[in-house]
Amino acid sequence: MADPRETLVRAENVRKWFGPLEVLKGVSLQVAKGEVLSIIGPSGSGKSTFLRCINQLETYQDGRIFVGDDLIGYDLQGERLVPLPQRRVVEQRRNIGMVFQQFNLFWHMTVLENIIEAPMLVLGQRRDQAVETAMGLLRRVGLAEKANAYPMKLSGGQQQRAAIARALAMKPDLMLFDEPTSALDPETTGEVLNVIADLAESGMTMIVVTHEMAFARRVSDRVVLMDNGKVDCEADPETFFRDQPSARLKEFLATIH
């Protein structure tokens, strides 16, 4: 892609095994600052695993993932990858927000407490400052009146919007979305997709693993098909969905339509 923008995420030949099973077989991808990349693919294709490698919820065993200047999870000594100490991994995660399929809001805290927790604990923000940011974010995702509710009292769509606000409160450079609407009713899917689309509009760099083709087409700058632990093809959304530049993609799109 002829984009003059600076590259934020650079994955080179990333490989990962779960025991003897090779789940990532050399994934290479780049995401520019401000770009929205959607990853689609059949289940078991490694798309979620790849996403989780970017913030080290999973470790990869070979290749490189750079976010900005940071080599994620490793220190490069010559050509050898030396695992970073846990403390450094924890630091690297601060700038990378993640939204999960199951929301994973801390159920023992109110929505507001969920959002201010990490900024206060990890970034050392003062409470009033964290609350101000949090309320701004809650207004942005349309949940200001739910600030003092516990997650169990919210619908799935509301929980996911709160989870997005929680991730944004850390002011990340990059947002990862791991099938953010797969656990939602069709009625509430829309409200979450709108929030994500808004965020895309605002210039946030995002990688979205999704099964929502219409959404991927509407919001993404680029779409990638992952299959069997590899990138099968990538293109801008128009080309991707109209021309369907690979046989595997044609097959995949045919099965889901």
Partner 1 sequence: MGFDWTFFWSRLTDPGDLYLIALGRTVVMAVLAMALGLVIGVVVGFGRLSRFLVVRAVCGFYIWLIRGIPVLVLLVFFFSGLAAAGFFRFSDVVVFGFTLSASFQAAVIGLAIHEGAYMAEIVRNGIQAVQRGQIEAAKSLGMGTFQLTRRIILPQATRVIVPPLGNDFNHLLKTTSLASVIGVQEIFQLTESMSATTFKTFELLIVLSITYLLLTTIWNVIQGMIETRLRRHERDDGPSGFIEKALFYLRPRVDAALERR
Residues 48-67 interacting with partner 1 (rule: CB under 8 A) = 55, 57
Which residues, listed in sequence order, are joined to residue 237 by a DSSP beta bridge? none
Contact stretch for partner 1 (CB under 8 A) within 40-48, 166-174, 184-192, 241-249 = 166-174
Q: Which of residues 216-255 bind partner 1 (CB under 8 A)?
A: none
Smallest distance from the beta carbon of 139 to partner 1, in angstroms?
21
Query: Considering the complex, what minimum distance in angstroms separates the CB of residue 122 from partner 1?
Result: 4
Q: Residue count at the site for partner 1 (CB under 8 A)?
A: 30
Q: Which positions from 115 through 134 interact with partner 1, judged by CB under 8 A?
A: 117-118, 121-122
- Which residues, 16 to 55, sit near partner 1 by CB under 8 A? 55
Structure tokens at 149: 């509710």
Q: Does residue number 150 form part of the binding site for partner 1 (CB under 8 A)?
A: yes
Span from 17-25, 42-50, 59-67, 149-157 in contact with partner 1 (CB under 8 A): 149-157
Task: Between 72 and 225, name the residue whose CB sits nearer to partner 1.
Answer: 72
User: Binding of partner 1 at residue 196 (CB under 8 A)?
Assistant: no
Q: Is 108 in the site for partner 1 (CB under 8 A)?
A: yes
Q: Please report whether residue 182 would count as binding partner 1 according to CB under 8 A.
A: no
Residue 107 touches partner 1, criterion: CB under 8 A: yes
Contacts of partner 1 in 85-104 (CB under 8 A): 86-87, 90-91, 93-94, 96-98, 100, 102, 104
Cβ–Cβ under 8 Å, residues 197 and 219: yes
Binds partner 1 by CB under 8 A, chosen from 151, 156, 157, 180: 151
3-state secondary structure the chain: CCCCCCEEEEEEEEEEEECCEEEEEEEEEEEECCCEEEEECCCCCCHHHHHHHHCCCCCCCEEEEEECCEECCEEEECCEEEECCHHHHHHHHCCEEEECCCCCCCCCCCHHHHHHHHHHHCCCCCHHHHHHHHHHHHHHCCCHHHCCCCHHHCCHHHHHHHHHHHHHCCCCCEEEEECCCCCCCHHHHHHHHHHHHHHHHCCCEEEEECCCHHHHHHHCCEEEEEECCEEEEEECHHHHHHHCCCHHHHHHHHHHC
Q: Cα–Cα distance between 243 and 55 in angstroms, integer?
A: 33
Q: Under the rule (CB under 8 A), what is the footprint of partner 1?
A: 55, 57, 86-87, 90-91, 93-94, 96-98, 100, 102, 104-108, 117-118, 121-122, 150-153, 163, 166-167, 170
